């Protein structure tokens, strides 16, 4: 029979052992919120602040087209890097649609931009916020800088497109600032991912599950963003105009930004990522996820864009290897990693597409 002191010690040890996984998950959730997710939202807000300034400078003749396009590409990549981090306010209320409209199977972006401009409706930030989400975001901005022939723009042509360009820049700046502020406010997402229980999460396990679901949805979306232009869903016939950013040919750069962000969430800014939640008995799984990320990111090195790769048999073969490597990363997260963490994923935002 255990003595009272020894019994107390044994019960205390059992209690500590029982809460240790939850404590570990709480620490990981907080570390990811502070070290990975919040900085991603801050970079997005910074890029959109620059985008708004860039639109104004371009339209006033203080910035050339090359720089204006470079600022758009920076905003596109900052947005792409948020895809695996979409938890909280930005993932709700269809807000993400007002940042980027994809897939655009019927060229709604181009058609609605031209319809709005032809209507003669005065365009400013307030009127744009009430307009269709199709023309509020980066897809419309990209259309103006790449499809409206701005390289030969005269004053009359600039006068036609610039009000919308500036309004989109202002809209994106305002939205990003609003979301970032909501993360930092008392009771916002930063606190909700750090202190449990709260109104969103009963415990840290729910928070980790939410982060993993965002990862799985983002990885599945990356496969769709690559597979659609490759022709994976159209009997093998390439559909280059179904790419995410086909006008600027930034599709692979955006994909790389998204995958890199997913990898940061997996590893953590200081090694305290989702990977750290796997015990020693899952050492092999952790190694395979590491290797899958390395392989997929390795396939995204190179200077060729998606359009150039789609145009040749050799390029298409490279894209197939990339797609297969993305599929491995996705399946590992969706299957073995979710089981190892005791998480039931359920449906994701892409189910039914």
pLDDT category at 12 given cuts 50, 70, 90 is very low
Return the H-helix or E-strand segment holding 171: helix 155-184
| Alpha-carbon distances of 318 from 221, 227, 321, 328, rounded to whole Å | 19, 13, 5, 16
- Per CATH, the homologous superfamily of domain 23-340 is M75 peptidase, HXXE motif (1.20.1420.20)
* Residue written as token pair 């709005």: 116
pLDDT at 93: 85
Give 331: exposed, middle or buried? Use CB within 10 Å, 0-12, 13-18, 19+.
Answer: middle
CA-wise closest residue to 100 among 119, 75, 64, 117: 75
* 38-85 per-position pLDDT tens digit: 999 999 999 999 999 999 999 999 999 999 999 999 999 999 999 999
SS3 132: coil
CA-wise closest residue to 47 among 82, 91, 23: 82
Whether this model's pTM surpasses 0.75: yes
| Span 145-159, average pLDDT | 81
Tell me how far apart the terminal alpha carbons of the chain are, to the nearest angstrom.
Answer: 62
* 320-344 per-position pLDDT tens digit: 999 999 999 999 999 999 999 999 9
Domain boundaries along the sequence of the chain: 23-340
Q: What are phi and psi of 208, to 5 degrees?
A: -60, -40
Tokens of 352: 């039914």
pLDDT category at 1 given cuts 50, 70, 90 is very low
* 267-320 per-position pLDDT tens digit: 999 999 999 999 999 999 999 999 999 999 999 998 899 999 999 999 999 999
């Amino acid at each position: 029979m255990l003595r009272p002191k020894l019994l107390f010690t044994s019960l205390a040890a059992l209690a500590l052992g029982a809460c240790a996984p939850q404590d570990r998950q709480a620490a990981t959730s907080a570390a990811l919120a502070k070290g990975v997710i919040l900085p991603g939202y801050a970079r997005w807000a910074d890029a959109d602040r620059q985008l708004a300034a860039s639109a104004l400078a371009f339209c006033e003749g203080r910035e050339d087209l090359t720089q204006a396009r470079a600022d758009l590409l920076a905003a596109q990549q900052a947005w792409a890097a948020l895809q695996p981090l979409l938890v909280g306010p930005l993932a709700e209320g269809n807000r993400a649609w007002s940042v980027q409209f994809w897939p655009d199977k019927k060229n709604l972006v181009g058609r609605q931009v031209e319809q709005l401009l032809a209507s003669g409706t005065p365009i400013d930030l307030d009127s744009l916020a009430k307009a269709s989400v199709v023309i509020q975001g980066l897809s419309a901005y990209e259309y103006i800088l790449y499809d409206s022939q701005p390289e030969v723009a005269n004053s009359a042509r600039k006068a036609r497109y610039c009000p919308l360009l500036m309004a989109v820049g202002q809209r994106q700046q305002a939205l990003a600032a609003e979301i970032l502020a909501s993360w930092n406010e008392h009771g916002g997402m930063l606190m909700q991912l750090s202190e449990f229980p709260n109104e969103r999460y009963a415990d840290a396990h729910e928070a980790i599950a939410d982060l993993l679901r965002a990862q799985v949805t983002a990885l599945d979306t990356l496969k769709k963003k690559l597979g659609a232009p490759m022709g994976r869903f159209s009997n093998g016939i390439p559909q280059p105009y179904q790419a995410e950013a086909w006008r600027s040919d930034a599709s692979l750069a955006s994909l790389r930004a998204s995958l890199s962000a997913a990898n940061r969430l997996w590893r953590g800014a200081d090694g305290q990522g989702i990977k750290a939640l796997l015990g020693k008995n899952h050492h092999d799984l952790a190694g395979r996820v590491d290797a899958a990320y390395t392989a997929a990111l390795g396939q995204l090195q190179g200077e060729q864009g998606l359009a150039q790769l789609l145009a040749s048999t050799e390029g298409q073969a490279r894209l197939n290897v990339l797609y297969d490597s993305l599929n491995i990363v996705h399946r590992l997260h969706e299957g073995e990693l979710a089981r190892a963490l005791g998480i039931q994923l359920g449906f994701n935002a892409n189910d039914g597409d």
